[in-house]
Amino acid sequence: MSGATHGSGSGSSSAGGDDSASAIHSLEIHPQYRGFKRVYYNPVVQVWFLGFVCFMGPGLFNALTGLGGGGMLDATTNSNANSALYATFAVAAFFAGSINNVLGSRLTLLIGSTGYALYIGSYLADNIHPNVSGFVIASGAVLGICAGLLWTAQGSLMLAYPTEDQKGKFIGIFWSIFNLGGVVGAAVSLGNNYHNTVISNGTYIGFLVLTGIGVLIPLLMADPRKMIRSDGTRVTTPRHPSWRTEFYGLWITLRTDPWIVLLFPMFFASNWFYTWQFSDYNGALFTIRARALNNLVYWLSQIVGSVSIGFLLDQRGLSRRFRAFSGWIVLFVMVFVVHIWAYFYQRDYTRDTVGDKIDIHQRPYVSRLWLYIFCGLLDAMWQTTAYWFMGAMSNDPAKLANFSGFYKSLQSAGAAGIWRADAVKLPYMNIFISTWVLLVAGLVFALPMIHMRVKDTTEEADETL
């Protein structure tokens, strides 16, 4: 998975020493750390830590989901679990910015990452005892709450640590490391299941061990209050307000920055396309071996897509407004290239007519693999650009935490609906067309926001929540 608010002054710390992504941007220039601290408190190093938290959790979850139906022969349980997951995710993410500000980013990340281990463990249980689908669905609901916390803390930190001209770079670094989780997971799955017709227990056990390790990584991360950006400005935490004030902050964010509403369709569409890509294309057409290989190249292409669009969005020789419009044009072209191409495949099969699975040695495989690569590129570009748009609107982590909460909440609401539609066997073509329409609508609604709200530098008025 892809702005915060900075006021002047250093802010006061809360009692108890909670770390938090709720921070303000001090205008005072601070000397950089020396020795080991210079390395440890380097913002890039901390984004690497953040990337590996998501490598071990969401990255491996993506590798599992990308197999189509979570690797299950019957994808209905997977679709229902994902529907439960994203339904609770939508609710949790809406308030997760406030929770993150109160608990602190490291604790929020730790709690959030535990849900991924539980969820992957439920797939192992289902593979051993096929009659525990209820446990899988319940684990999905728990993971939704945890994921809302993890992704909100992640978004706030990722957008708070870089300077204004580094945000695309930092998003690209994070997205590349995060998607290595999908790459490694897909490679493990391919190796374990090359000669299998179903996913082996060893695959789920390997994923479970790695996600357990990922739970511990937030304990190694730095206190955000001690971080100094590359330009010498410090991220410091103010005294935490009450829960009531924090929840009120969500309303204040909408009231003080209503342009964020025009990004809501883009947010809503940002996980909608996974259902068609993973279950209705990869899961429907290919053998387990081909699905695992598709999964591997999909997540590799995500790294390329994120780095390339991040490079464009951070070109210092171009104005930020020009870069914003350029990113929008790239997304618009990619949406139509991918979906016109995909239409010529989707029109040839339905749920009732899909027959023999395509294997890696068969002639039709190569062109369909290339389509899946372009799907991965589009996904990474879409998520990275959405985060970049938020980062261009503000620099304050408190505001960015709420932006990220809105992003994940709407993203998950859309995903909950479309996974449920897949579970009740909505026709493949209907799901495909809805995906195409929503992506185009997201871009159309975002255009006036870019025109009116993205400026060449973030103004002080935009940095006060």
Helix (H, G, I), strand (E, B) or coil at 9: coil
Helix (H, G, I), strand (E, B) or coil at 395: strand
Cα gap 419→274, rounded to integer Å: 9
Confirm if 396 and 465 have CB atoms less than 8 A apart. yes
Cα gap 255→332, rounded to integer Å: 29
Cα gap 215→441, rounded to integer Å: 37
Nearest to 208 by CA among 61, 396, 22: 61
Q: Read off the amino acid at residue 125.
A: A
Nearest to 464 by CA among 389, 392, 398: 398
Angle (nearest 5°) at CA 282 between 279 and 288: 105
Nearest to 455 by CA among 385, 396, 392, 397: 392
Mean pLDDT in consecutive groups of 10 residues from the start of the chain, 465 residues? 32 36 52 76 87 90 72 71 88 76 85 92 83 87 91 79 77 81 79 68 84 90 79 56 60 79 90 91 88 89 87 84 91 96 93 85 93 94 89 75 76 88 91 96 92 70 52
Please report the pLDDT score of residue 331 as a whole number.
Answer: 95
Please report the pLDDT score of residue 326 as a whole number.
Answer: 92
Hey, where are the domains in the chain? 24-463
Cα gap 381→334, rounded to integer Å: 9
Pull the structure tokens for residue 255. Answer: 């009231």
Cα gap 297→303, rounded to integer Å: 10
Q: Read off the amino acid at residue 183.
A: V
Cα gap 243→252, rounded to integer Å: 14
Task: Provide the CATH topology of domain 24-463.
Answer: Growth Hormone; Chain: A; (1.20.1250)
Please report the pLDDT score of residue 2 as a whole number.
Answer: 38
DSSP characters for 95-128? HHHHHHHHH-HHHHHHHHHHHHHHHHHHHHHHHH
Cα gap 148→33, rounded to integer Å: 33
Confirm if 117 and 208 have CB atoms less than 8 A apart. yes
Confirm if 410 and 264 have CB atoms less than 8 A apart. yes
Please report the pLDDT score of residue 34 as a whole number.
Answer: 73
Please report the pLDDT score of residue 68 as a whole number.
Answer: 59
Beta-bridge partner residues of 235: 25
Cα gap 114→294, rounded to integer Å: 28
